Amino acid sequence: MQDTFRHKGLRKKLVDTIREKGITDSKILAAIEAIPRHFFMDSSFLEFAYQDKPFPIGSGQTISQPYTVAFQTMLLDVQRGHKVLEVGTGSGYQACVLTELGVKVFSIERQRKLYIKTKAFIETVNWKPQLFLGDGYEGLPKFAPFDRVLITAAAPEIPAALISQLKTGGYMVIPHGEGEEQTMLRLTKQADGSYTKEEFGVFRFVPMLGDLGND
Ligand code: SAM
């Protein structure tokens, strides 16, 4: 797939839109500008790739809205060299945005079909997050502890296993709640294993589901 001048122009406009919505971190905006979002989308949605909207990516899932990707990335407040666990690989776009910021990304996807498709696709691009098929509720104990944990599906509860895989002082960013709308939370892990909580408004995500399906 090609990244033409037209795509680059549309991407600049998308970055302007996200900036106007309040994302001012120049490194995050540069990462959004660097990554051809249309590479991550199904062919039938290519022409919409630079609209600030979520789109279907198959298996009943979506690639998140670019503003939401930027917002969650801002809340994560990553530093180069951080180890980040992402739950919900989906298209791999968010994982690549984090990789572009110099982060070592470990991303889990629950749906086999989507995992296989995204894993094959990631081989073809310059960003190399590590992808895993599994249940995000369990995390990746083998690779823990993580500096940051990012959940990109709606979580009805705070996954205890993921708190335990977070470093002291580390952040978990998680859209929390049942139903159609969730509250975006940033949890900070304390030395005694508990966490403090900050709230950042209402978002809409597809649900985080339990044990592996056959899909
Ligand atoms: N981060 C993705 C991207 O950049 O395209 C968008 C994620 S999409 C909104 C949510 C994803 O979470 C879906 O791909 C879904 O299959 C996945 N998911 C849901 N429950 C999960 C779980 N328990 N473990 C891992 N992934 C899960």
Per-residue pLDDT of 7-17, as tens digits, reads 999 999 999 99
Number of domains in the chain: 1
Q: Is 152 in the pocket of ligand 1 (CB under 6 A)?
A: yes
pLDDT at 43: 80
pLDDT at 213: 52
**Ligand 1: nearest atom to the Cα of 108:** 25
Six-digit token string for 211: 């044990």
Name residues of the chain where pLDDT drops below 50. Answer: 214-215
> Measured between alpha carbons, how far apart are the two ends of the chain, in Å?
27
pLDDT at 44: 76
Edge-to-edge strands, sheet with 146-151: 130-133, 104-109, 83-87, 146-151, 166-176, 182-189, 195-203
pLDDT at 88: 97
Residue 89's nearest CA partner among 124, 65, 113, 115 is 115
Is residue 3 in a domain? no
pLDDT at 58: 86
Q: Is 209 in the pocket of ligand 1 (CB under 6 A)?
A: yes
Is residue 93 in a domain? yes
Is residue 157 in a domain? yes
Burial class of residue 110, CB neighbours in 10 A (0-12, 13-18, 19+): buried
* Atom 22, ligand 1: residue with shortest CA distance: 136
Q: Model confidence over 141-192: pLDDT tens digits?
A: 999 999 999 999 999 999 999 999 999 999 999 999 988 999 999 999 999 9
Q: Is 205 in the pocket of ligand 1 (CB under 6 A)?
A: yes
Is residue 12 in a domain? no
pLDDT at 214: 40
Read off the CATH number of the domain in which 76 is found: 3.40.50.150
The model's pTM is: 0.96
With b for 16 or more beta-carbon neighbours within 10 A and e for fewer, the 7-35 pattern comes to beebbeebbeebbeeebeeeebbebbeeb
pLDDT at 47: 80
| Angstrom distance (rounded) from CA 116 to CA 148 | 25
Range of the domain at 164: 54-203
Burial class of residue 176, CB neighbours in 10 A (0-12, 13-18, 19+): buried
Amino acid identity, position 46 = L
Is residue 45 in a domain? no
pLDDT at 211: 67
